[in-house]
């Protein structure tokens, strides 16, 4: 290895490696998933390039993954015919440049996160160190000669030009020398089981080299021929190595019969979220634009936890005629639905789909519209379900607690679907400060003659419920929505009116409680103003420069006074608090 260059692992990468090397994690087999997933990514990248220039495929048009093992040497290797890595790629991507996820991964683990989440952080390659004592990566990229990367799980790695030449043609081989305690992975059954489990949905054929017993007819040497039976050939058994295809290749979204757990497993592969999704939608769209879609609604906000990372990848993947378009098309789904994961596969777009092309943009917009409608419809169905026995809340409320702000954001951003989203939005209310309610349920409980929907906003619903500003209303039997999420007030301001009822901020100073005898109430107010004129003047003098106005109010129930905001500049106290926090 005279020509090998030594490189030091970047500090965060070294920490990640260290975690894997010393991990007592019991599901070490996840390195198989990560390594196959990298091979699959490399094949996707090559296939995508080949759309516009098929010369990148050269002599080898096959896009495959091969896995081999050797018990004697305790080695395991994964070979793909994907895009490969140049010498610089090997140095940069496998050691010297840390991605944003690298540090986040270390932090997530420190705060109790599960190693299984690695896929989301872009550190999957290093999971090989769960089982490896030494890793050799051999790679041939079209733009460079074949190079070798070697790491013995220490602080440095070496890179050299392969003295054997460009033997791979194109692609990458990851060869792993297993640790003493990981010998279980040089076993055919263990490998077959794990490859099947983790790679069911990889679109490229995965072959495992297996031992096979075959019978073969061979000529009997002349001096051994039995004169009596006159046979000149005999059957011999022998063991040979042969490639066995492990995964099915038909994409799941094209299949008609799919089991629930297959749907769930595909979600996990796609989203890298180890939890089950709340729900999936599998449909074929027909009409103006035709496509197949398989979409998932997660049960938790996994996507948001790793916002920075996800910002880079589109939540819904676009396939054209079964080919993954690796360029990101974020416009496939509205931003507020970015928690949805899935795939869309259309024959109506060309493989070289481009954002700049008006016709393509039009089709993408139509797809977006249909997907959005389907998702909102699915959410409504879940929202309409009765709670399970013994539960007070249905699954939708659980979902809403995690992802509800997306619905509230949708109301602000998606005017076309505002009505549908208003049916999906939930707020806390004085009906039960710990239970979310829909606007429809609020309306069903409204008092006779009430024609506004009342709300009050602040930072803590348990304080809001005690607010002197709503005591009188409550005493009179009115229900008030308690908005304590910063986005709530923006959302209700956008809703403005629902079912011809105005959403009224009862905290605003210019708003008064409707009285049954409005004329009497006004007269009484006038009389009180007169009666307390001296007191008011004294108060005004006392509070000069601190408040805008001191007046008699109808709002109060038992308290003598309250401070409110004017609302003249359109900002409530709560909104002001929020903008201050943002500044
Ligand atoms: P991620 O896959 O999320 O990018 P990984 O740690 O799994 O993170 O891989 C790091 C990088 O190493 C990849 O982004 C890719 O550039 C490179 N890489 C890993 N395996 C392969 C492979 N089989 N072929 C080509 N490049 C690869
Ligand atoms: Mg990876």
pLDDT in tens, 449-494: 898 999 999 999 999 999 988 998 999 999 999 999 999 999 999 9
DSSP letter (8 states) at residue 462? H
Going by C-alpha positions, the residue among 226, 361, 231, 370 that lies closest to residue 290 is 370
Query: Cα(347) to centroid of ligand 1, in Å?
Result: 29
**Rounded to the nearest 5°, which phi and psi values hold at 16?**
-60, -45
State the ipTM, two decimals. 0.99
Q: Edge-to-edge strand order for the sheet containing 341-346?
A: 279-285, 291-297, 341-346, 316-320, 323-324
Tell me the three state secondary structure of residue 88: helix
Q: What is the mean pLDDT of residues 69-89?
A: 97
pLDDT band (50, 70, 90) for residue 32: very high
Q: How far apart are CA 163 and CA 167, in angstroms?
A: 10
The strand pair at 279-285 and 233-245 is best described as unpaired
The strand pair at 501-505 and 497-498 is best described as antiparallel
Q: How far is CA 566 from CA 15, 338, 453, 504, 553, in A?
A: 55, 37, 20, 15, 13
**Nearest protein CA to atom 12 of ligand 1, as residue:** 93
* Residue 270, pLDDT score: 86
Q: Is 29 in the pocket of ligand 1 (CB under 6 A)?
A: no
pLDDT in tens, 188-244: 999 999 998 888 788 899 999 999 999 989 998 888 888 888 888 989 999 999 999
pLDDT reading at 433 higher than 60 = yes
Q: Is 44 in the pocket of ligand 1 (CB under 6 A)?
A: no
**Nearest protein CA to atom 21 of ligand 1, as residue:** 38
* Residue 583, pLDDT score: 57
pLDDT reading at 9 higher than 50 = yes
* Residue 371, pLDDT score: 96
pTM of this structure: 0.75
Tell me the three state secondary structure of residue 1: coil
Place of tokens 């061979």: 218
* Residue 376 · residue 420 · CB < 8 Å: yes
**Nearest protein CA to atom 13 of ligand 1, as residue:** 93
Tell me the three state secondary structure of residue 399: helix
* Residue 36 · residue 202 · CB < 8 Å: yes
Give the start-end residues of each E strand in 276-413: 279-285, 291-297, 316-320, 323-324, 341-346
Q: Is 325 in the pocket of ligand 1 (CB under 6 A)?
A: no
Query: Cα(271) to centroid of ligand 2, in Å?
Result: 12
Query: Cα(71) to centroid of ligand 1, in Å?
Result: 27
pLDDT reading at 424 higher than 80 = yes
* Residue 251 · residue 269 · CB < 8 Å: no
Q: What is the mean pLDDT of residues 545-565?
A: 75
């Amino acid at each position: 290895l005279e020509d090998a260059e030594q490189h030091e692992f970047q500090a965060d990468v070294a920490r990640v490696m260290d975690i894997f090397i010393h991990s007592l994690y019991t599901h070490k087999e996840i390195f198989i998933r990560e390594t196959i997933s990298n091979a699959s990514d490399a094949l996707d990248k090559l296939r995508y390039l080949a759309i516009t220039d098929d010369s990148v495929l050269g002599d080898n048009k096959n896009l495959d993954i091969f896995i081999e093992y050797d018990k004697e040497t305790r080695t395991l290797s994964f070979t793909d015919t994907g895009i490969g890595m140049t010498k610089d790629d090997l140095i940069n991507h496998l050691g010297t440049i840390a991605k944003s996820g690298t540090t986040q991964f270390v932090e997530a683990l420190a705060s109790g996160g599960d190693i299984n989440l690695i896929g989301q952080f872009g550190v999957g390659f290093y999971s090989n160190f769960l089982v490896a004592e030494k890793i050799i990566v051999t790679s041939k990229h079209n733009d460079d000669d074949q190079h070798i990367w070697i790491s013995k799980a220490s602080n440095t790695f070496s890179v050299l030009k392969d003295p054997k030449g460009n033997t791979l043609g194109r692609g990458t081989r990851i060869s792993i020398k297993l640790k003493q305690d990981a010998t279980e992975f040089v076993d055919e059954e263990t490998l077959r089981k794990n490859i099947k489990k983790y790679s069911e949905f990889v679109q490229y054929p995965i072959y495992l080299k297996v031992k096979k017993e075959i019978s073969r007819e061979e000529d009997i040497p002349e001096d051994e021929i039995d004169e009596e039976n006159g046979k000149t050939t005999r059957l011999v058994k022998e063991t040979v190595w042969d490639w066995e295809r492990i995964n099915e290749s038909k994409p799941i979204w094209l299949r008609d019969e799919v089991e629930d757990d297959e749907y769930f497993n595909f979600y996990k592969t796609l989203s890298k979220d180890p939890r089950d999704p709340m729900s999936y939608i599998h449909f074929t769209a027909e009409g103006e634009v035709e496509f197949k879609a398989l979409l998932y609604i997660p049960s938790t906000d996994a996507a948001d936890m790793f916002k920075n990372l996800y910002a880079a990848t589109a939540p819904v993947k676009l396939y054209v005629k079964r080919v993954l378009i690796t360029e990101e098309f974020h416009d496939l789904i509205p931003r507020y639905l970015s928690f949805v994961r899935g795939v869309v596969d259309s024959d109506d777009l060309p493989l070289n789909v481009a954002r700049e092309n008006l016709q393509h943009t039009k089709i993408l917009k139509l797809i977006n519209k249909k997907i959005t409608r389907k998702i909102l419809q699915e959410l409504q169905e879940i929202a309409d379900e009765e709670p399970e026995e013994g539960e007070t809340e249905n699954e939708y409320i659980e979902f809403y607690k995690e992802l509800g702000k997306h619905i509230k954001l949708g109301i602000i951003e998606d005017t076309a679907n505002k009505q549908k989203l208003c049916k999906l939005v939930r707020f806390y209310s004085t009906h039960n400060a710990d239970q979310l309610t829909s606007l429809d349920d609020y309306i069903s409980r409204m008092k006779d003659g009430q024609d506004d929907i009342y709300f009050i906003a602040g930072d803590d619903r348990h304080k809001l419920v005690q607010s002197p500003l709503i005591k009188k209303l409550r005493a009179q039997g009115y229900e008030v929505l308690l908005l304590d999420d910063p986005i709530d007030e923006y959302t209700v301001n956008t809703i403005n009116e629902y079912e011809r009822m105005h959403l009224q901020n009862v905290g605003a100073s210019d708003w008064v409680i409707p009285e049954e005898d409005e004329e009497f109430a006004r007269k009484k107010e006038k009389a009180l103003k007169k009666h307390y004129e001296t007191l008011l003047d004294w108060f005004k003098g006392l509070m000069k420069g601190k408040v805008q106005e001191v007046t008699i109010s109808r709002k109060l129930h038992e308290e003598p006074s309250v401070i409110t905001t004017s609302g003249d500049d359109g900002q409530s106290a709560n909104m002001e608090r929020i903008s201050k926090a943002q500044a």
